[in-house]
Amino acid sequence: MTLEIWHNPRCTKSRETLALLRQKGIEPEIREYLNDVPSVAELQSVLDKLGFESARGWMRTGEAGYKALGLKDIDDEDKLIEAMSTHPKLIERPVVIHGDRAALGRPPEKVLEIL
């Protein structure tokens, strides 16, 4: 079964999570999601795998774009997911996907739970 990481090489937690996987002998498929932006359908699928009740739990709410877009006041899940697809910097990273499960690498060790 393929293991995929949605990775931002400029992010410390993302680099630490990738290094942890490699230390465990796992070479994941790497998706630099800022360049290969996930579709709304992909985001919804991964959101379901993460088990979050709301897309907001997977958003970088401290990002300037979050505030500029007024997302704090939006309760429509479809609009939140669309914003994440349109503005991928809003996606909290890293995310590791393994089959029908996913985990946010915050802290990096959290991804070991889905292996």
**What DSSP letter does each residue of 45-66 carry, written as one string?**
HHHHHHT-SSGGGGB-TTSHHH
Ramachandran angles phi, psi of 14, nearest 5°: -65, -45
Q: Which helix (H) or strand (E) holds 5?
A: strand 3-7
Of 3, 4, 11, 60, the active-site residue reads 11
DSSP structure class, residue 10: T
Which residues on neighbouring strands pair with residue 61, listed in sequence order?
Answer: none
The SS3 of residue 77 is helix
Q: 11 an active-site residue?
A: yes
Question: Could you give the residue numbers annotated as active site?
Answer: 11
